[in-house]
Structure 1
Amino acid sequence: MLTHCKVGAIVFFVSDLARSVAFYRDTLGLPIDAMDGHDGPFAMGEVGELALVFIPRPARAGESPVVVFSLEGGIDDHAEALAAKGVEIVVPVSESPDGGLSLDFLDPDGNVLSLHQNEGAPRRH
C-alpha cells in the first residue's frame, strides 16, 4: 500500500519549543527555524530530503517522535484501506500545519505513524 511513498518527516512533540530549537539548531547545527502555523507556533528544518518538525505539545510514551510517510495524493483512499484492515486511526484526515493533509494511526505496538500529502494534491486516486 505504501510502496511508492517515502519517509518525508519526523515530528517531535516537545515541551519547550525554544529549548528544542536551540538544541537542534545551535547545538547540533541543523537548519531549524521557528514559525507560525494555523494551530500556533512550530519549528521546522530539513536534513537532506527529510523534514524535522517540532510541535510544542506534551506527549505520552509512544507518541513522539512520529514517522511521517509522504504521499503524492490519495490520502482518503489510504485512510479507508487502513480502517478496512483494522488499523486504529487516532487522528482522521485533517489539515496539517503546512496546509496539506495528514492522517495519524497506530502500529501494533501503539506507536504513532502518519501519512501526509501536500496542499492541492488529490484526496483520491
Structure 2
Amino acid sequence: MLGQARIGTICYYVTDIDRTEAFWRDVVGLEVRRMGDDGSGNDWLAANTAGGLELIFFMNECRPGNTPIIVFDLTEGGIDDVMAGLAAKGATIVTPVSHAPGGWSGDFADPDGHAISLYQTEGVPRSRG
C-alpha cells in the first residue's frame, strides 16, 4: 500500500522552538526556516537535508515514544483511500484525514503504538475514485 510512497518528512515534537532552531541551525548546520510566524505562538520549523528529506518541528509535549514521526508523502493523492485501506487491514487510525499546513494529513499506529503519518499537498485529489 505504501511501497511506492517515499518518506518525505520526519516530524519532531519539541518543548522549546527557539532552542530547537538554534541547535539544528548552529550545531547541526541545516538551513532552518521558521514557519507560521504570525504571532499566534504556533510557530514551527522546517529544514531540508541534502537528500531531500524534510525535518519539521512542532511545539508539543515531548516524551520518549511520541517523536519522531515518519511521514509518507502521497504525491499521487488518494489520502482518503489509503487511510480507508489501512483501516480495513486492521491498522489503528490515530488521527483521521484532516487539514494540515499546505495540505492534508492522517495518522495511524503500528502494532507497538508508534505514530506513522501520511501527507498530501492541497490540489491533489483526496480520493482516487
Query: Is TM-score (shorter-chain normalized) higher than 0.5?
Result: yes
Find the counterpart in structure 2 of residue 2 from structure 1.
Answer: 2
Amino acid at match of 2:55: L
What runs of 5+ residues in structure 1 fail to find an aligned partner? Answer: none
Match of residue 69, structure 1, among 60, 72, 78: 72
SS of the counterpart of 1:21?
Answer: helix
Aligned length: 124
Find the counterpart in structure 2 of residue 82 from structure 1.
Answer: 86
Q: Distance in 2 between matches of 1:59 and 1:108?
A: 21
Amino acid at match of 1:119: E
Structure 2 residue 83 is the aligned partner of structure 1 residue 114: no
TM-score by length of 1: 0.93
Q: Distance in 2 between matches of 1:66 and 1:96?
A: 15
TM-score by length of 2: 0.90
Q: Distance in 2 between matches of 1:121 and 1:49?
A: 20
Find the counterpart in structure 1 of residue 46 from structure 2.
Answer: 44
Find the counterpart in structure 1 of residue 99 from structure 2.
Answer: 95
Find the counterpart in structure 2 of residue 26 from structure 1.
Answer: 26
Deviating 4+ runs (over 3 angstroms): none
Q: Distance in 2 between matches of 1:37 and 1:66?
A: 23
Q: Distance in 2 between matches of 1:11 and 1:67?
A: 6
Post-superposition Cα deviations, 1:31-84, rounded to whole Å, max 9, x if no partner, equal 111121798210001112111000011134321000000102000001100111
Match of residue 56, structure 2, among 53, 58, 79: 53
**Percent identity of paired positions between Structure 1 and Structure 2:** 45
RMSD: 1.5
Q: Distance in 2 between matches of 1:79 and 1:60?
A: 26
